[in-house]
Amino acid sequence: MRCPILALLLVLYTLTTFAAELPAQNPTPASIARQRFNQVFVKVIMPDTTRTPKQDGPVVESWVAEQLKELGESEYFAVTDWVPVCDGLLEDDEVDNRVWSGSLVGKNSSGFCPVSGDLPERKDGRVLVLVGGWDPGGGHEAKVTLVDEPGTRTVEPVLPYSARGKRKAIPGETPLAYVAVLIGPPPRERVTSHSNDE
């Protein structure tokens, strides 16, 4: 019984030593590119209406509240925290950019289709942010082009759009929802080794 255990320990020790000596993988071009891009975060905010009664939810930041007030909205609530929208611009980059499930709580609450985000274009120091969904045809979206610098932020209304992709504002109709957009710095590299100070 002692001999097989000793042999097993010897094999494990040898494999552990060999694995520790292997060099780390070099980063792929896609992961290097991803580290250079600023991060984009969105937060979905619903107006307080009979169709979407006010609910408890994440905090609405003061700058978002100020912009909503400028847009004429006085009663609202957030249905998501800050959700990152990943870049689908990189090669072989398959990402799930689900921003919100579309469900609200309460017996009088409407249900919506899932909402997704996308960054279809980064060009000339600007980034195009699309957040769409809300109904089966996906005919509502918030669309904004922002300066691609950390700290850039805005609140955009969710409006219907035509099959040609043009937004169509209907006089007297209030936006279905609002989307707050915030540009953050690129993700920091993960530190995998301990410093000498420890």
* Distance, CA of 185 to CA of 167 (rounded, Å): 30
* Average pLDDT of the residues in 140-152: 94
- Tell me the per-residue pLDDT of 159-184, one tens digit each, with 9 for 90 and over: 887 655 566 666 666 789 999 999 99
Task: Work out the angle at residue 44's Cα, subtended by the Cα atoms of residues 41 and 48, and round it to the nearest 5 degrees.
Answer: 155
| Predicted confidence band of residue 191 (pLDDT cuts 50, 70, 90) | very low
Residue whose token pair is 């993700």: 187
* Distance, CA of 142 to CA of 12 (rounded, Å): 56
| Predicted confidence band of residue 106 (pLDDT cuts 50, 70, 90) | confident
Q: Quick check: pTM over 0.75?
A: no
* Distance, CA of 198 to CA of 114 (rounded, Å): 47
Q: Domain boundaries in the chain?
A: 37-184
Average pLDDT value for the chain: 80
Q: Which one, of 130, 192, 118, lies nearest residue 156 by Cα?
A: 130
How many CA atoms are closer than 13 Å to the CA of 185, on its beta-carbon side?
Answer: 3
Range name among 8-12, 90-94, 111-115, 173-177 with the lowest pLDDT average: 90-94
pLDDT at 198: 45
- Tell me the per-residue pLDDT of 35-76, one tens digit each, with 9 for 90 and over: 578 999 999 999 998 888 888 889 999 999 999 999 999 999
* Average pLDDT of the residues in 123-147: 89
pLDDT at 155: 97
